[in-house]
Amino acid sequence: MLITNNSSSMDSPKTILPAVVIGQLYRHSLVAIDDEQIPPSSPSAEITEPALPAGADEVMTGNAGPVVAPLRFLGNNARRIAILVNYPGEPFLPEASLQFLTNILNACKLNIGDTAIVNAGRDAVDFPLLRTTLHMEQLILFGNIPGIIPGAASFAIEVVEGVGALTAPALEEMNNGSAEGKQLKGRLWQALKQLFNL
């Protein structure tokens, strides 16, 4: 969503981008200061660079530095809630799906900063990598993400290695305005209430 401000006829219109888009455009500092990294200022929509799984060793490769399997995620993972989506052509997820997911989280009294949104369509992930890297307590899968929780039924909460896991249809299936979409949203809400003890 772009917002245009035409407050004065003398000024050119100003385009205001959402914080998520700005974060994706400027993922690294614009000015390098002795290799220090400046933490992002928005705790609710931080794009987190690859993380090293707990207990994993860095593999040194000459002068190039450590080589680590990356796990990129959107959010701060403050409440240790992993959300998996599958959008191969997107850095994380489309704007409409992000807005819908934000509304779902708000209904659960959560925000993007409480979660770690991982795009399995962009990065190869499996349950052990998610578990060790994110130290997740809950996991929500939106859409078809094979191999994470085999055989899981939609809207059924399963406990896998101490993690409460919920599978649901893709976000756009529930956010299409159809009667079926509304029914799916209702089922998701019931499952989320159970998962988060609401």
Range 156-165 average pLDDT: 92
Q: Report the percentage of the chain scoring pLDDT > 90.
A: 49
Instruction: Give the HSE-up count for residue 106: Cα atoms under 13 Å, Cβ half-sphere.
Output: 7
Q: What is the pLDDT of residues 90-108, one digit of tens each?
A: 999 999 999 999 999 999 9
Contacts of 86 (CB under 8 A, 6+ apart): 119, 120, 121, 142, 143, 144, 145, 170
Instruction: Measure Cα distances from 109 to 11, 22, 104, 186 in Å.
Output: 40, 25, 9, 17
Give CA–CA dist 178/198, Å, rounded: 26
Give CA–CA dist 121/93, Å, rounded: 10
Q: What is the pLDDT of residues 49-83, one digit of tens each?
A: 545 444 444 443 444 444 445 689 999 999 999 99
7-11, 69-73, 157-161, 170-174 — which is least confidently predicted? Answer: 7-11
Q: Is the pLDDT of residue 144 over 50?
A: yes
Give CA–CA dist 96/194, Å, rounded: 26
**Residue 97 C-alpha from the chain's centroid:** 11
Q: For the whole model, what pTM was predicted? A: 0.67
Looking up tokens 């500092």 gives 29
